[in-house]
C-alpha cells in the first residue's frame, strides 16, 4: 500500500496583537483533519500561542512576520515556526520556578519555553543571527 | 483581530468572585488586576476567579495572575480558581500555581469551601 503523502498547511502571520489566535485557529483545523483529540488540540494551541509570542516579543524581526508550516505525517503533527529576527540562545533562558516568581519584585514572566516543552512531545530550537526556527511535534 | 475581554465582579460575604469572559492575555490580565486592586484596596482578601468562559490564556496573562497571587499571599489572603478548562488547569499545574491556589470544579464548590 503506498504511503499517504504528507499534508501541509502554510501560514504567514504579521506580528500584530492577538495574531497568535489566528495561528491557533489554523492549528485547530489541521488537528481536526488528523482527528487529534480535544485535549491534545488544546495543548498544541497553547504551545503555538507561546511560540508566536516568543517571536512577536523577542525576535526584533524587521519584516515583522512569522512563517508557520503545519505538516501532518501519519499520526504526527509537526509545526515549524520561523522568524527572521536576531535569534536567541535557549540555553541562556533561566528555567522559571514559581517560588522565585512569588518573591516580591521578581519578574513574573519567562514561562513560554517551559509551556511549549510541556505541551508538546518534542520541541527543538534553532537560532542564529538570521532568525529562529522552532520545530514542535505532537503525536496523535 | 482583537479579542474582547469582559469581567463581572460580585461579592459573597467576604469572598470576591470575578467571572471572566475571553482571552486572558496581557489586556485581559490587566483588567483582572484592575478589578482585583479595587477590591483589595477596599479590604478584600479572599478571591475566586471563575474561568468558565476563558478557555484561552497565555503566559503573559498568567504572569499577571501570579502578581495578584503574590499580593494575596503576602496579605495572608486566599485566591482560588473554578470552572477551569483542562488546558488552563494543566497550564497552572505546569507553572506550579496549583501549589498556592486551589482549583475548584464549580463556583458552588468554591463558595462552599471558601465562605
pLDDT tens-digit series, residues B8-29: 999 999 999 999 999 999 999 9
Q: Tens of pLDDT along B60-78?
A: 999 999 999 999 999 999 9
**Closest-CA distance of chain A to residue B10, Å:** 27
Which pLDDT value is given to residue B95? 97
Q: Are A90 and A113 in contact (CB under 8 A)?
A: yes
pLDDT surpassing 80 at residue B2: no
> Which residue in B87, B89, B93 has the most chain A C-beta atoms within 10 A of its own C-beta, making it the best mutation to test that interface?
B87
Q: What is the pLDDT of residue A106?
A: 78
Burial of B4 per CB tally in 10 Å (0-12, 13-18, 19+): exposed
> What digits encode the pLDDT tens for the residues B85-97?
999 999 999 999 9
Residue B32 is placed in which grid cell? 483582572
For cell 533562558, the residue is A93
Q: Which CATH architecture has domain A7-139?
A: 2-Layer Sandwich (3.30)
Q: Does A98 sit within 8 Å of B96, measured CB to CB?
A: yes
Residue of A nearest to B99 (CA): A98
Instruction: Name which of B63, B90, B100 is nearest A109 (Cβ-Cβ).
Output: B63
Contact B85 A53 (CB under 8 A): no
pLDDT digit of tens for each residue in chain A (140 aa)? 677 778 999 999 999 999 999 999 999 999 999 999 999 999 999 999 999 999 999 999 999 999 999 999 999 999 999 999 999 988 888 899 999 999 867 788 999 999 999 999 999 999 999 999 999 999 99
Mean pLDDT, rounded, for B31-37: 98
8 Å CB contact of B63 and A21: no
CB-nearest to A102 from B23, B64, B69 is B69
How crowded is residue A25: how many other Cβ atoms within 10 Å of its Cβ? 12
Tell me which CATH code domain B5-114 carries.
3.30.750.24
Q: Break chain B into its structural domains and give their ranges.
A: 5-114
Report ipTM (2 d.p.).
0.92
pLDDT at B1: 54
Amino acid at each position: 500500500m503506498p504511503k499517504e503523502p504528507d499534508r501541509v498547511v502554510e501560514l504567514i502571520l504579521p506580528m500584530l496583537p492577538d495574531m497568535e489566535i489566528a495561528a491557533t485557529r489554523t492549528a485547530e483545523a489541521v488537528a481536526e483533519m488528523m482527528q487529534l483529540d480535544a485535549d491534545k488540540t488544546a495543548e498544541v494551541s497553547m504551545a503555538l500561542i507561546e511560540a508566536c509570542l516568543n517571536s512577536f516579543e523577542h525576535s526584533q524581526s524587521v519584516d515583522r512576520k512569522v512563517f508557520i508550516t503545519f505538516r501532518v505525517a501519519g499520526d504526527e503533527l509537526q509545526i515549524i515556526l520561523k522568524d527572521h529576527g536576531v535569534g536567541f540562545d535557549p540555553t541562556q533562558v533561566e528555567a522559571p520556578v514559581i517560588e522565585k516568581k512569588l518573591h516580591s519584585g521578581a519578574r513574573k514572566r519567562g514561562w513560554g519555553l517551559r509551556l511549549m516543552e510541556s505541551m508538546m512531545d518534542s520541541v527543538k530550537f534553532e537560532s542564529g543571527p538570521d532568525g529562529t526556527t522552532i520545530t514542535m511535534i505532537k503525536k496523535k | 483581530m482583537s479579542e474582547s475581554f469582559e469581567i463581572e465582579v460580585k461579592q459573597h460575604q467576604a469572598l470576591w468572585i470575578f467571572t471572566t469572559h475571553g482571552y486572558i492575555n496581557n489586556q485581559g490580565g490587566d483588567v483582572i488586576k484592575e478589578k482585583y486592586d479595587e477590591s483589595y484596596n477596599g479590604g478584600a482578601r479572599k478571591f475566586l476567579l471563575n474561568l468558565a468562559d476563558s478557555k484561552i490564556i497565555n503566559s503573559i496573562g498568567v504572569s499577571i495572575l501570579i502578581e495578584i497571587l503574590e499580593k494575596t499571599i503576602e496579605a495572608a489572603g486566599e485566591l482560588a480558581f473554578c470552572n477551569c478548562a483542562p488546558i488552563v488547569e494543566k497550564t497552572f499545574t505546569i507553572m506550579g500555581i496549583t501549589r498556592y491556589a486551589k482549583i475548584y470544579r464549580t463556583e458552588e464548590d468554591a463558595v462552599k469551601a471558601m465562605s
